[in-house]
């Protein structure tokens, strides 16, 4: 969420030239909100919430990067039960919705979520929505006491419409792992992901706190995963007309490193990129993380450091909508 007006000023080097960028917050016009509202991806989120129009327009804020490079903006709108975030880079738009105080307030089944639930909607395609809910304290405690992972803020424990009714535990910091003979070895852009059988229905995922009894070894599996992060990064590299990750590291490594450091705590609505966005990740994984978020979750690039990184990797504002065919 963005509160209040403010600006950050800094210098970011585009690929081949140094430019000065300004990240500033302002109030969008009704015409700007109308244009966002007409975007298919925004309509998909609104429709899932039983809406056709963006409500509470007086709460809308847009945070934009003004420079000779990237044309980038993130618009947020406060609802009575959460926040709509819409990211735009060039012609490309991404959207997500984060629930807050949803119990008894949100529409449809979302108003029946457990009171302490932290949940979000993100897009799996321009016309399809995925729901993700973080485990409640009781669910998380039961799960983490059954696997060799300590309770750490870098560990994401969640269930969603994409997890087949089971809980997934993403361990993004290797220091949180108690190694066992079954612990897979990890490459730079990988993380451990545990699957804990819960067998929840799509309705239960939203409305019910799962009552775990005994979690046996047969209910748990673990894999080293990279997800689609690297493949998404490769698509974005092609769109940006950059040949290699090493080229980005040489020209924009510092800017991207600063952005990734700010992103690590915000990946709940962008789980596809999370494997590359680990705490203490290598430079290569950091580049993959940034490119992945740039490609599918630009609504998270709200900070000054990420504005500088986006500015650095783009030579002009002529960036088409990035199409990721396997989302």
Q: Residue 307's Cα: distance from chain center in Å? A: 16
- CA-CA distance, 9 to 76, in Å (whole number)? 21
Select the highest-mean-pLDDT range: 164-168, 262-266, 269-273.
164-168
DSSP 8-state code for residue 321:
P
Name the β-bridge partners of 192. 171, 224
The whole-number pLDDT of residue 66 equals 64
- CA-CA distance, 265 to 278, in Å (whole number)? 10
- CA-CA distance, 286 to 276, in Å (whole number)? 7
The whole-number pLDDT of residue 230 equals 84
Give the other-Cβ count within 10 Å of 107's Cβ.
13
The whole-number pLDDT of residue 15 equals 40
State the average pLDDT over residues 150-178: 85
Task: Give the closest residue to 263 by CA, choosing from 273, 253, 254, 250.
Answer: 273
Radius of gyration from C-alpha coordinates of the chain: 20
Residue 188: exposed, middle, or buried by beta-carbon count in 10 A (0-12, 13-18, 19+)? middle
Q: Could you tell me which residue, 327 or 208, shows the higher pLDDT?
A: 208
The whole-number pLDDT of residue 166 equals 96
Contact between 162 and 124 under an 8 Å Cβ cutoff? The reply is yes
The whole-number pLDDT of residue 68 equals 57
Share of the chain above pLDDT 90, in %: 41
The whole-number pLDDT of residue 323 equals 60
Confidence of residue 8 (pLDDT cuts 50, 70, 90): very low
Please list the alpha-helical segments (H only) found in the chain: 30-37, 40-48, 137-144, 202-207, 229-239, 245-263, 283-296, 304-313
Helix or strand or coil: residue 19? strand
The whole-number pLDDT of residue 179 equals 67
Range in 144-153, 273-282, 304-313 the model is least confident about: 273-282
State the average pLDDT over residues 68-80: 83
The whole-number pLDDT of residue 309 equals 87
Q: Could you tell me which residue, 25 or 22, shows the higher pLDDT?
A: 25
Contact between 102 and 113 under an 8 Å Cβ cutoff? The reply is yes
Confidence of residue 231 (pLDDT cuts 50, 70, 90): confident
Q: b/e string for 209-225 if b means 16 or more Cβ within 10 A?
A: bbebeebeeebbebeeb
Range in 53-62, 222-231, 281-290 the model is least confident about: 222-231
- CA-CA distance, 130 to 201, in Å (whole number)? 14
Dihedral sign from CA coordinates of 260, 257, 229, 311:
positive
Cα–Cα–Cα angle for 223, 118, 113, rounded to 5 degrees: 110
Cα–Cα–Cα angle for 59, 100, 44, rounded to 5 degrees: 70
| Maximum Cα interatomic distance, the chain, rounded to a whole number of Å | 60
Residue 20, pLDDT above cutoff 80: no
- CA-CA distance, 130 to 126, in Å (whole number)? 11
DSSP 8-state code for residue 176:
G
Helix or strand or coil: residue 293? helix
Residue 325, pLDDT above cutoff 70: no
Residue 196, pLDDT above cutoff 80: yes
Q: Which residue has the tokens 């395609």?
A: 125
Confidence of residue 79 (pLDDT cuts 50, 70, 90): very high
The whole-number pLDDT of residue 304 equals 77
202-222 pLDDT per residue, tens = 999 999 999 998 899 899 998
- CA-CA distance, 93 to 122, in Å (whole number)? 12
99-129 pLDDT per residue, tens = 999 989 999 999 999 988 889 998 888 899 9
The whole-number pLDDT of residue 67 equals 59
Range in 30-34, 225-229, 242-246 the model is least confident about: 225-229
- CA-CA distance, 97 to 288, in Å (whole number)? 24
State the average pLDDT over residues 284-290: 88
The whole-number pLDDT of residue 44 equals 96
Average pLDDT, the chain: 82
Residue 2, pLDDT above cutoff 80: no
Range in 22-26, 288-292, 318-322 the model is least confident about: 318-322
Q: Which two tokens stand for residue 153?
A: 């803020």
């Amino acid at each position: 969420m963005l509160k209040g007006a403010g600006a950050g000023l800094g210098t970011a080097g585009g690929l081949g030239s140094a430019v000065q960028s300004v990240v500033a917050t302002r109030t969008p016009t009704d015409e700007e909100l109308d244009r966002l509202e007409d975007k298919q991806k925004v309509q998909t989120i609104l429709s899932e919430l039983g809406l056709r129009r963006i409500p509470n327009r007086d709460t809308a804020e847009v945070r934009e990067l003004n420079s000779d490079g990237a044309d980038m903006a993130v618009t947020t709108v406060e609802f009575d039960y959460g926040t709509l975030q819409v990211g735009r880079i060039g012609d490309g738009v991404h959207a997500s919705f984060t629930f807050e105080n949803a119990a008894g307030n949100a529409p449809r089944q979302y108003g029946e979520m457990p009171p302490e639930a932290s949940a979000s909607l993100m897009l799996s395609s321009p016309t399809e929505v995925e729901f993700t809910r973080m485990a409640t304290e009781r669910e998380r405690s039961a799960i983490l006491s059954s696997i060799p992972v300590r309770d750490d803020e870098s560990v994401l424990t969640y269930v969603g419409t994409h997890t087949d009714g089971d809980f997934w535990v993403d361990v993004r910091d290797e220091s949180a792992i108690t190694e066992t003979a079954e612990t897979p070895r990890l490459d730079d852009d990988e993380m451990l992901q545990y699957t804990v059988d819960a067998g929840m229905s799509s309705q239960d995922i939203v409305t019910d706190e799962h009552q775990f009894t005994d979690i046996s070894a047969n209910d748990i599996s673990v894999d080293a995963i990279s997800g689609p992060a690297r493949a998404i990064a490769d698509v974005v590299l092609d769109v940006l007309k950059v040949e290699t990750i090493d080229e980005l590291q040489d020209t924009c490594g510092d800017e991207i490193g600063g952005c990734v450091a700010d992103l690590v705590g915000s990946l709940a609505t962008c789980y596809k990129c999370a494997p590359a966005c680990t705490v203490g990740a290598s430079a290569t994984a950091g580049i993959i993380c940034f490119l992945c978020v740039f490609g599918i979750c630009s609504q998270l690039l709200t900070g000054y450091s990420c504005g500088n990184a986006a500015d650095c990797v783009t030579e002009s504002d002529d960036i088409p909508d990035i199409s990721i065919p396997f989302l």
